[in-house]
Structure 1
Amino acid sequence: MITLVWRDVRRGYGSGGTTLLVGFFLLVATLFPFATGPDAALLARVGPGVIWAAALLAALLPVERLVAPDVDAGVFDQLDLRGYPPATVLAARVLGHWLGFGPPVMLAAVIAGGLLDLPLAALLRVEAGLALGTPGLAALAVVTAALTAGLRGAAAVAGLVMLPLAVPLLIFGAGSVAGDGPGLKLLAATSLLLVAAAPFVAAAALSARDS
């Protein structure tokens, strides 16, 4: 598992994918104030939602390279023959994708919080929400990658698949900033459910594709 996770993390950071992901995240957060104007109160109110929407889009950005290249190269079949079931490999893929996506987005969210004029207390709640919710986004990205592997126009299809499924995370994540409700608990529960189910759903998707 450590070897598989390290392989995915090294591929993400080494290919510049993480830099592109963070740049895309900050670009979304930077453009929003230009669209809404410099109203500090408005930016502080909608800022958490903007950060979560940017995180969702950033998680979707590398979806084409999460599973499809290894499917085409027969990596999953080779690992299966060596005693590593696809669900185990995909669990490592979820963790590897999160390590290359979650911590950098959480760091970039500090810059985005400044651009959106978020108070410190709100920014801390956003960071707590991202820590709980980004594993769920990573799990959804891997499931989406498995479902769309080998399809023509996979990037467009991936967006149609992943965005509706991520709505609960987006709602609970943005809502948790209020600090006076079960938002963080619901976010953590949803993320945990996605992380637990993702390897098996993705493995079933690959199995159905091969049959």
Structure 2
Amino acid sequence: MSLVRATVRRDLLLAARNPGEWANPLMFFLMVAALFPMAVDPNPEFLSKISGGVIWVAALLATLLSLDSLYRADVEDGSLEQWLASGESLYAMSLGKALVHWCISGLPLTLMSPLLGVMLHLPEDAYFALFISLAVGTPVLSLLGAVGAALTASLRSGGLLLTLLILPLYVPVLIFAASAVYHAGIGMAYNGQVAMLGAMLALALALTPFAAGAALKLNLSR
């Protein structure tokens, strides 16, 4: 855990020095949600039915936008090679990287979701479902994305390949999260969907750092 804390502290400091890394996905998230009603029917009744799905799709795309640079700087300056040569745990580094990615992308999106819900006329009963689905689901996106970023870390233009690798894994998260918000909006129970998201989070926490560490070791040993 000391290695995880050290990685988190270092990467948060780097993110504070480079605000564009976390500001760009956040602005993208806001623009997609703000411009969507202009491109379709701005009728509040129509928007209330699809607002949860729109917010979740925007959050997913914003997460993808920030994944390509997750390990890029560490590969370019040789930090990853030094970490591997030192014999320290790649599991701890991968878990720390995913946690930092969620702190600078998923957490701000989660905190801003009520505001976007107001903009898109989200039903009042669905606000808590939207918040809890983002709070549980966005860490899964970051953990899965860390594996894809590790697989493409040594590629100069790996953004498209990263999207093709990770997007199919994101689809179940999107389905259950959007379903939870929709069912909450029409007054139905959504505990099952949230429980599935929680199960995905537990599984991702247990497995994805190992997978990301193995992918990094494979990339650096070439």
TM range (shorter): over 0.9
* Pairing partner for 1:186 from 190, 193, 196: 196
Instruction: Provide the residue aligned with 1:201 in structure 2.
Output: 211
Which amino acid in the other structure matches residue 200 of structure 2? T
> What is the CA–CA distance in structure 2 between the aligned matches of 1:101 and 1:10, rounded to whole Å?
15
Which amino acid in the other structure matches residue 8 of structure 2? V
1:42-81 equivalences under 5 Å are 42-81=46-85
Alpha carbons of 1:13 and 1:170: their partners in 2 closer, same or farther (altered >3 Å)?
A: farther
Shifted more, 125-134 versus 152-161: the winner is 152-161
Q: For each residue in 1:19-46, what CA deviation from the matched residue of structure 2 results, as whole angstroms up to 9, or x when unmatched?
A: 2121110111112111212121221111
Instruction: Provide the residue aligned with 1:144 in structure 2.
Output: 148
Show structure 1 runs of 5+ residues with no match. Answer: none
Instruction: Provide the residue aligned with 1:9 in structure 2.
Output: 12
Q: Does 1:156 align with 2:156?
A: no
Q: Give 1:152 deviation, angstroms.
A: 4.1
* Pairing partner for 1:33 from 33, 37, 56: 37
- Taking every aligned residue pair, what percent have the same amino acid on both sides? 37
Q: Indicate conservation of the 8 Å contact 2:84/2:217, yes or no.
A: no
Stretches of 4+ moved more than 3 A in 1? 80-83
> What is the CA–CA distance in structure 2 between the aligned matches of 1:59 and 1:107, rounded to whole Å?
15
Which amino acid in the other structure matches residue 65 of structure 2? L
Which amino acid in the other structure matches residue 72 of structure 1? E
> What is the CA–CA distance in structure 1 between the aligned matches of 2:202 and 2:38, rounded to whole Å?
35
Show structure 2 runs of 5+ residues with no match. Answer: none
Q: Does 1:98 align with 2:102?
A: yes
Which amino acid in the other structure matches residue 131 of structure 2? E
Q: Give 1:76 deviation, angstroms.
A: 2.2
Specify the SS of the correspondent of 1:149: coil
Q: For each residue in 1:117-156, what CA deviation from the matched residue of structure 2 results, as whole angstroms up to 9, or x when unmatched?
A: 1123212110010111111011122111111112242111
Count of paired positions: 211
